[in-house]
Every structure is written in C-alpha cells, then in structure tokens.
Amino acid sequence: MKREIRDRLIIALDVETIERALLLVEQLRSSVGMFKIGSQLFTAAGPEAVREVSRMGVPIFLDLKFHDIPNTVASAAAEAAKLGVSIFNVHALGGSEMMRRALEAAQMAAERGGIARPRVIAVTALTSADQKTLNELGIAESPTAFAVRLAKLAAEVGLDGVVASPHEIRPVRDAVERASFLIVTPGVRPRWTAHHDQKRVMTPAEALNAGADYIVIGRAVLDAPDPARAVESIIEEIEDS
C-alpha cells in the first residue's frame, strides 16, 4: 500500500535552476513516482532541464499546457514526445482539433523515434479558478460543470486523461466511462499548509480517495525545510486518513 501511494505522488519541480531540481530529485526519488517540469524551470533552463532530470532515470510530466493554433501545438507535442517525457499536457480550451493534432503528432514522433508515446492529457479548469474567475471570462457554468464539459471533449478526442481539481474527480469519473482515463490532480494541500493561490482544494487523502490517479504537490514540499520529511508526512497523513 505504501508503495502504491508513493507511485501516485508527482512533485512539481517549480524551481529556478537545474541544480536545485536535480537535488530535489536526488532527495525525493525513492519517495515519489514522478516529477513535473513546468513553466518556471522550462523557461529558466529550457529542454536541457528535461534531459538532465530524465538522465536520473525518473518519469517526467512536462506541464507546459500547450494552447495555440493546432499546427503550433502539434509541432510542440512532437518535440515533447522526442524529449521522452511520460506525460505532457495541452489546454482543452484549445479545442478538439488542437487536441487531436497534439495526440497524432506525439504518436508519430514516438513511432519515428522508436520510443513510447507520452500520455497526452488536457487541462480543464485551473485549480486556481473559482466562480468569479469563470464569470470574468464570460463563463456562467460552475467550475465543476465547465471542467466536466472539457473533460468529455478531451475524452471524445481520444486524449489519455485530464488535469482536474479534487472537486472534479468524481464528476469526471461519472461523465467519462473509460476506466483508463487518467486524472492528474493538483490543488491538493496537506492539513498543515496554506492554500496559497489554489481555490478548489482538498487534502491528498481526499483527492486519492475520490479517484485521482496522481496528485501533484509543489510548495508544501518545496518550501519545507526538509523536503524528504515533508513527503513522508504527506504519506503518513494519507495512510492515517
């Protein structure tokens, strides 16, 4: 059971340098299943950050949330596949053609390179968004209805899953019949941390119990004086729940 929980933890390497990222990977690799490289590290250090972390032999979720015209996203998707990441994502708001082209391009690049295709997942409603945020954008639906609608679109296109807040896990599972549909869930907070800018939050245990395949954790671990100890505390909190 303990192994199973560890495998479902993704640590967000939201740091400024490759050196700090590699140190975190070294400290945490035996405690977590995957590492996420997002906008901060990728903008600071580029694809070399992905290559360096990859050299450490750990799976990577490339969280760049591609959202552009289909041709540009397809080209970026091919590059993501060539980097050998396990998962990358696009914004579902880019629409079905954009998502389909991303999937096809990743498939083709992986076949050409003789490597496994990364799983391609879609961001639904950002976990930092609440009803006010959606209203600002002219969206009257609740965050849950909005996220479920986008998840269904991603599933229809054939994507492998979604990024969804803890509050949308059960509704998405109910709406998408595919058992293998991956749900990756940020916006989780152990009992002992602040919510920061995250709005639709639950604890790690609640998110896993609701059916998340993976939970993503950043600041609760990155800001801790001892990141390895913070991960162990999170695992203990999950086991005690």
Ligand X SMILES: O=c1ccn([C@@H]2O[C@H](COP(=O)(O)O)[C@@H](O)[C@H]2O)c(=O)[nH]1
Is 40 annotated in a binding site? The answer is no
Q: Is 67 in the site for ligand X (CB under 6 A)?
A: no
CB 237 within 8 A of CB 203: yes
Q: Which amino acid is at 103?
A: L
218 binds ligand X (CB under 6 A): yes
Q: Is 63 annotated as a binding residue?
A: yes
- Residue 183 interacts with ligand X (CB under 6 A): yes or no: no
Binding residue for ligand X (CB under 6 A) from 33, 94, 166, 186? 186
Distance CA 231, CA 241 (A): 16
From 2, 7, 68, 132, the catalytic residue? 68
Whether residue 66 is annotated as binding a ligand: the answer is: yes
Respond yes or no: is residue 152 known to be catalytic: no
Catalytic one among 2, 7, 65, 240? 65
Q: Least Å distance between CB 202 and ligand X?
A: 12
126 belongs to the binding site for ligand X (CB under 6 A): yes
Smallest gap from Cβ 193 to ligand X, in A, equals: 8
Minimal distance in Å, beta carbon 32 to ligand X?
13
Binding mask 6-25 for ligand X (x = CB under 6 A): ------x-x-----------
* Cα 90 to Cα 163: distance, rounded to the nearest angstrom: 10
Give yes or no: 68 in active site: yes
The Cα–Cα gap between 38 and 43 comes to 8
Q: Which of 106, 64, 68 is nearest to 89 (CA)?
A: 64
Q: Give the nearest residue (CB) to ligand X.
A: 218
Catalytic residue check, 63 = yes
Least separation in angstroms between CB 53 and ligand X? 14
Residue found by looking up tokens 């994502």 in the block? 89
Say if residue 152 carries a ligand binding annotation: no
Question: According to the binding rule CB under 6 A, does residue 185 interact with ligand X?
Answer: no
The site for ligand X, by CB under 6 A, has a size of: 17
Give the SS3 label for residue 141.
Answer: coil
187 makes contact with ligand X (CB under 6 A): yes
Q: Where are the alpha helices (DSSP H) in the chain?
A: 2-7, 18-28, 39-45, 47-55, 70-82, 96-113, 131-136, 143-157, 169-175, 204-210, 219-222, 227-240
Residues 6+ apart with CB under 8 A from 216: 10, 11, 12, 36, 61, 184, 185, 186, 188
What span, in angstroms and rounded, lies between the C-alpha atoms of 64 and 189? 22
As annotated, the active-site residues are 63, 65, 68
Task: State the residues that interact with ligand X by CB under 6 A.
Answer: 12, 14, 38, 63, 123, 126-127, 163, 186-187, 196, 198, 216-220
